[in-house]
Amino acid sequence: MNGHLTVTIGNRHPDDDDLPPSDNNNNTNNHYDDDEELVDPDDPFDITQTKNASHETLRRWRQAALVLNASRRFRYTLDLKKEEEKEQKKHLIRAHAQVIRAALLFRLAGEREIVISTAVTPPTPVGDYAIGLEQLVSMSKDQNISALQQYGGIRGVSNLIKSNPDKGISGDDADLLKRKNAFGTNTYPRKKGRSFWRFLWEAWQDLTLIILIIAAAVSLALGIKTEGLEEGWYDGGSIAFAVFLVIVVTATSDYRQSLQFQNLNAEKQNIQLEVVRGGRTIKISIFDIVVGDVIPLKIGDQVPADGVLITGHSLAIDESSMTGESKIVHKDHKAPFLMSGCKVADGVGVMLVTGVGINTEWGLLMASISEDTGEETPLQVRLNGVATFIGVVGLTVAVLVLAVLLGRYFSGHTKDVHGNVQFVAGTTSVSNAVDGVIKIFTIAVTIVVVAVPEGLPLAVTLTLAYSMRKMMADKALVRRLSACETMGSATTICSDKTGTLTLNEMTVVEAYVGRMKLNPPDDSSKLHPEALSLINEGIAQNTTGNVFVPKDGGQTEVSGSPTEKAILSWAVKLGMNFDVIRSNSTVLHVFPFNSEKKRGGVALKLGDSGIHIHWKGAAEIVLGTCTQYLDSNGQLQSIEEEKAFFKEAIDDMAARSLRCVAIAYRSYELDKVPSNEQDLDQWSLPEHELVLLAIVGIKDPCRPGVKDAVKVCTDAGVKVRMVTGDNLQTAKAIALECGILASNEDAVEPNIIEGKKFRELSEKEREDIAKKITVMGRSSPNDKLLLVQALRKGGEVVAVTGDGTNDAPALHEADIGLSMGIQGTEVAKESSDIIILDDNFASVVKVVRWGRSVYANIQKFIQFQLTVNVAALVINVVAAITSGAVPLNAVQLLWVNLIMDTLGALALATEPPTDHLMHRSPVGRREPLITNIMWRNLLVQAVYQIAVLLVLNFCGESFLPNQDTRAYAFRVKNTLIFNAFVMCQIFNEFNARKPDEMNVFRGVTKNRLFMGIVGMTFILQIIIIEFLGKFTSTVKLDWKLWLASLGIGLVSWPLAVAGKFIPVPKTPLSRYFLKPLRRLRRSRATQ
């Protein structure tokens, strides 16, 4: 049993609310030593993190749990058997992909030796297109280069499917419809979700409910035999009806939950991406892609369909999702086929879509494996432990009650309502004896139903499902359930700057060409034509963006990343003609922008065979590689004497929170450029002896409301750290503006640090310094990963935001990875736990609120459920031992179980978050689930209920008005006990809403579901007492007894207020009991 006791070692300690923030933090740190002592390797439920947990760990806790209905209890956990089947299916499909790849490599090797002319069937026109679906799919799936060549290469295939490699398809509705009819849609058949009948069947799998149904059937048969059909069916029929009601309500609740998860899954798969249609770059859903679409690809993108590469530079594809091997495959005109579902690991390219949906290997894979929402959360695992512990206690109590009642029954100590002994050896008939035993057995089984809180672990799923739906409205899409919960424990958030703390609406507000500052920045009149031409050439060719000028003379459309858009827009204002410049030179090689090197470059071959190499990137880094600059008169000047001037200009712009980008170039000799394609792909662009062309300052204003959001985090004990690739001066200026740094005095090392400096420290030094870091500038993704690792080793619960492909390791390593919905790459999103749909830091803070709310709601439900458990068990046990009869019968207990389990969970697990949650310290991972405050509230209410109801049980008849018969008086008394008990639960449900606040009614009217459930419970209770007496063995109560019942329930409100004045110790009760047990165990182990 000691192993199970640890499950009460949970998270928050509400007493910490009263401490000042500094005390809270010290308190938290002091707990770490205790925590180490509290880790129990023998306890299967002691799992603080389910992210990346092994299957063995997950299997262990499942086997240890006491479960009455496995199919329901484990519905939202990972199905380990299905997971293994899924891996086998993936292996089969991947094996097919590997065979194709091996055949392709073999064919390529052969073609290098001799030119083979493989016969390929010429394209057969089908409908509106000159090639049919079968031939197109066969070419893509088999990666058949011979077929591609015979069809006329990229140009030929694009003509066959009426597309254009440069401008894409026209994209009008009629064209899209034709394409979908001819080549299919980019969707795959999804497996249908479970039907309501399946949920009904699973709810019925509960062992205790099955036993009750059997008991009801036997009782029904005996009742009809002894009392006739008219009167004899009530006992058995009422139990059967109560069980049926429990099953229907449970199944309905579970079914509604599953629909919410299905909707969220569909949202997860709806990737937005850019396509070129009619020469314009537009954003569409992955599901809307059709054959013939032209799609630009960049680092971190998912290949959205099967296709052929049109153009590419250093394009490397990670095909591990299809082949199972984490091998990077380089793509060029010799290996041009791209497989759907793979990720772009490096480089840039443009692809032509040739296969979509079920006609791709990825579509087949996704259609054959069901999207499993199963995944356990730490809270779910620990609540299974709590449920197991309570269940064992309940089972023991039920066995005890069964033994006592059977003993009293067969020894002749049990009397009926008339005072007659129920069993007399040799006199009582066998059928009466069996009937008596079944009634006793039914009560014992019903005690188990009430005692084993099946709904406790499921309440986590319920509150998570509710929270996830509401978080969508707050612009957060939860990919991993446990993250929603872990966010409540977050002690620090490492946030990006651009787009998260700032608006990502960039404009060039300052520009230097040579030593001359342009005022305004888009005034080209003072620039020499040579300087202007080189600047425009560098911007137009060294970009992943695009400029579209409508033929009708409409507004110019600029697309690309925010930085690219800002620089392209500036160049357009300077007079750049994007299409003309791009047609005047040929791109030889591209070095895509890299967050490690902080710059990107391109090599161009000009019309006169000259070579220009253009670079663009972080101003101080590009400046360091320049030896000359081009002045405003178009003359080359040495930069050595002017470096101080340029550095000062950069620092001045950075101090005003501007992002500084430098544009530089150099000429190169044609004969030094590799001539064959393979060497050209491996060529490193020359990056020294550059000529500085311009430095621009880009303004990206702080998001409105960020300062308030940062303050909310600080007040909540969550430290916000800024990790950015920008210049340290820019980062410092934004951090001051956002309130991350309180003042200039704080802006000193190690509070602000450069990534390079942090990287060079030893592991121990990094751990020591990490907690002090508030701003990290010029950081690479690897620096972010090192910071996350150092913080986690120091005991912090770390949330990290990221948008780039290289952020994936940090997002994966963090306790909670938050990717950006707008700027984030698909690789970053897949490595993250939550996607922030609007890229806004304020949405991150809302996620923290929801995380804390999940935890708080579960605690409310635990307090409510345990109060009912303790009271119901104690009342029935005491009554059974003393009088041989129980005041709460099987049907009544099933109704109480319904109020407590399903309806109680619905009412309390769907409480929206309040501001009060953000005035607490973060939820510690190992602080008790059942806190001292909860124990106090629970015991105050349980003791009151037990005392009142036992007094009614033993002395109730003397309080009641004189009844006609003793039997009727007995039934009135038991009805009053049942009614008063239910009223206590209804009123106590309000107390459970605010375990640590005096005013339990604050915001209650806003939660319509809570009010609806409480109202419905009350109305149903009136119906049960007044109209369903035959079923529940109750009688109608007069208005005085109704008032008495309401009065008994109402007392729980002032009692709850009075109880909150009782002081509780800071140290959790569980620790007093567990420490000696652990020490005893250790001493035994060492002997």
Residues known to be catalytic: 496
For the chain, how big is the Rg over CA atoms in Å? 36
User: Please, are residues 1070 and 8 in contact by the beta-carbon 8 Å criterion?
Assistant: yes
Q: How many CB atoms lie within 10 A of CB 964?
A: 7
DSSP codes joined into one string, 914-979 = -GGGGGS----TTS-SS-HHHHHHHHHHHHHHHHHHHHHHHHHHHHSPPPSSHHHHHHHHHHHHHH
Torsions phi, psi of 181, nearest 5?
-70, -35
Among 613, 594, 481, smallest CA distance to 537 is for: 613
**Cα–Cα distance measured from residue 652 to residue 655, given in angstroms and rounded to the nearest whole number:** 5
Q: How many CB atoms lie within 10 A of CB 432?
A: 14
Query: Which residue, chain included where needed, has tokens 């590997």?
Result: 98
Going along 63-182, which residue ranges are E strands? Answer: none
Angle between helices 378-410 and 55-64 (to 10 degrees): 20
Q: Which residues of 774-812 are buried (b: 16+ CB within 10 A; e: fewer)?
A: bbbbbbbbebbbbbbbbbbebebbbbbbbbbbbbbbbbb
- The encoded tokens of residue 150 equal 């015979």
**Cα–Cα distance measured from residue 558 to residue 564, given in angstroms and rounded to the nearest whole number:** 9
* Longest distance between any two alpha carbons in the chain, whole Å: 123
Residues 6 or more apart whose CB falls under 8 angstroms from that of 194 comprise 255, 258
- The encoded tokens of residue 279 equal 């020469």
Torsions phi, psi of 735, nearest 5?
-60, -40
**Cα–Cα distance measured from residue 614 to residue 612, given in angstroms and rounded to the nearest whole number:** 6
User: Please, are residues 355 and 137 in contact by the beta-carbon 8 Å criterion?
Assistant: yes
User: Please, are residues 625 and 637 in contact by the beta-carbon 8 Å criterion?
Assistant: no
Among 376, 477, 462, 478, smallest CA distance to 48 is for: 376
**Cα–Cα distance measured from residue 886 to residue 906, given in angstroms and rounded to the nearest whole number:** 29
User: Please, are residues 16 and 26 in contact by the beta-carbon 8 Å criterion?
Assistant: no
Burial class (CB in 10 A: 0-12, 13-18, 19+), 912: middle
In residues, how long is the chain? 1087
User: Please, are residues 481 and 850 in contact by the beta-carbon 8 Å criterion?
Assistant: no
User: Please, are residues 754 and 778 in contact by the beta-carbon 8 Å criterion?
Assistant: yes
Q: Which strands, in side-by-side order, build the sheet including 834-836?
A: 476-478, 834-836, 816-820, 798-802, 492-495, 719-723, 775-777, 752-754
Output the CA torsion 123→352→289→828 (10° steps). 140
**Cα–Cα distance measured from residue 1011 to residue 635, given in angstroms and rounded to the nearest whole number:** 78
* Three-class SS state of 816: strand
Residue 1032 gets which letter from DSSP? H
CA angle 252, 257, 262 (to 5 degrees): 125
Among 509, 452, 510, smallest CA distance to 70 is for: 452
**Cα–Cα distance measured from residue 778 to residue 717, given in angstroms and rounded to the nearest whole number:** 27
